[in-house]
């Protein structure tokens, strides 16, 4: 602020520009301003020398808009593809997307369920060959009932529970419950030979056959049908695991038979 600046300042404040006391106060205020610039700090000096903290100009608006548009387009296409794959689009749009994907893409989106072309478009293929074929599947209500009974009679689910009314209870269950009951054969329950399960892939209704039939596990996973020999080995293995097994009894019985004194 020069002398003329002081005049304007004082005049603007409603004071006399020629007021000596006021001008003296303003003149002395300027003594706070040094003649030379203060020495900058090391950080500021590095910036003034063109260091790495130089100001960066913001991105051009057009470039920013193009990038934002591409991001929006990518998001829209991704969400639309996910919706089309889930058959969530409106039927008309879903049909158009499906037809277009059949023609131009290496994969195809499904046709809408309500479309008359729905039967002609293959749906998702079966996950594996162990799944039951459609004609052998029981009605849904039967499957539900059977699964419940299977779970109730499965040895793993209720190992100590075995009653004579429960068909197909495991042999080990008999041992735990009674101990003096007649020992079943090592090949499994007498009323359910292993061959029966192989013969009737869909007959999962027999107790204890949840893992023995070719079908679905109560949890819904497809299971593999063991052969008669492997089932026998499995039964013996389980019996050996419990110590007081039928195999051990059978061996004891054969020794007695061989002994000279007899039983």
Partner 1 sequence: VELSDEIAAAARSGDPDALTTVYRLMSPRVLGYLRARGVEDPEGLTSEVFLGVIPRLHELRGGADGLSTLVFSIAHARSVDEVRRRARRPRESAFDAAADPRLVPSAESRVVSHDAARRTLDRLARLSEEQRVVVALRVLGDLSVEQTAEIVGKSVGAVKQLQRRGLLALRSMVESGEVSL
Question: Which of 5-13, 171-179, 180-188, 203-211 is the region at the interface with partner 1 (rule: CB under 8 A)?
Answer: 5-13
Q: Which of 4, 18, 28, 52 binds partner 1 (CB under 8 A)?
A: 28
CA dist., res. 5 & res. 123, Å (int): 87
Q: Measured from the CB of residue 39, what is the shortest distance to partner 1 in angstroms?
A: 8
For partner 1, the closer of residues 27 and 240 by Cβ is: 27
Considering only residues 6 through 25, tell me which ones interact with partner 1, judged by CB under 8 A: 9-10, 12-15, 19, 21-22, 24-25
Rg of the Cα trace of the chain? 45
Near partner 1 by CB under 8 A: residue from 3, 54, 71, 221: 54
Among residues 19 and 88, whose Cβ is nearest to partner 1?
A: 19
Asked if 251 interacts with partner 1 (CB under 8 A), we say no
Burial class (CB in 10 A: 0-12, 13-18, 19+), 238: middle
Instruction: Select from 3, 4, 18, 48 the one that contacts partner 1 (CB under 8 A).
Output: 48
Task: Check residue 58 for interaction with partner 1 (CB under 8 A).
Answer: yes
* Contacting residue, 4, 18, 32, 156, with partner 1 by CB under 8 A: 32
Task: Dump the DSSP string for 171-240.
Answer: HHHHHHHTSSSPPPPTTS-TTS-HHHHHH-TT-TTSTT-TTTSSSB-TTS-B-PPPPHHHHHHHHHHHHH
d(CA 212, CA 185): 17
47 binds partner 1 (CB under 8 A): yes
Largest CA distance in the chain: 147
Q: Is 37 among the residues that bind partner 1 (CB under 8 A)?
A: yes
Pure H helices in 60-127:
61-85, 91-104
Return the H-helix or E-strand segment holding 45: helix 42-48
Nearest Cα neighbor of 173 from 197, 193, 152 is: 152
Rounded least distance, CB 44 to partner 1, Å: 4
Nearest distance from C-beta of residue 114 to partner 1, angstroms = 57
Residues that bind partner 1 (CB under 8 A): 1, 5, 9-10, 12-15, 19, 21-22, 24-41, 43-44, 47-50, 53-58
């Amino acid at each position: 602020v020069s002398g003329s600046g002081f005049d304007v300042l004082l005049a603007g404040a409603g004071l006399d520009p020629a007021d000596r006391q006021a001008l003296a106060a303003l003149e002395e205020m300027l003594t706070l301003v040094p003649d030379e610039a203060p020495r900058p700090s090391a950080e500021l000096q590095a910036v003034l020398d063109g260091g790495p903290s130089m100001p960066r100009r913001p991105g051009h608006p057009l470039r920013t808009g193009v990038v934002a548009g591409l991001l929006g387009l990518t998001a829209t296409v991704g969400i639309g593809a996910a919706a089309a794959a889930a058959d969530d689009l409106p039927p008309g749009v879903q049909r158009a997307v499906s037809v277009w994907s059949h023609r131009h893409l290496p994969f195809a989106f499904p046709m809408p369920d309500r479309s008359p072309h729905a039967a002609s478009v293959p749906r998702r293929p079966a996950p594996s060959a162990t799944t039951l074929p459609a004609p052998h599947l029981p009605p849904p209500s039967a499957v539900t009932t059977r699964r419940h009974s299977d779970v109730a009679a499965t040895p793993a689910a209720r190992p100590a529970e075995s009653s004579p009314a429960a068909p197909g209870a495991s042999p080990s269950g008999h041992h735990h419950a009674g101990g003096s009951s007649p020992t079943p054969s090592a090949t499994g329950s007498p009323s359910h030979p292993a061959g029966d399960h192989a013969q009737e892939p869909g007959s999962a209704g027999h107790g204890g056959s949840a893992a023995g039939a070719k079908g679905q596990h109560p949890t819904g996973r497809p299971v593999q049908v063991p052969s008669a020999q492997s089932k026998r080995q499995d039964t013996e293995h389980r019996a050996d695991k419990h110590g007081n097994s039928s195999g051990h009894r059978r061996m004891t019985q054969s020794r007695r038979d061989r002994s000279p004194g007899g039983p």
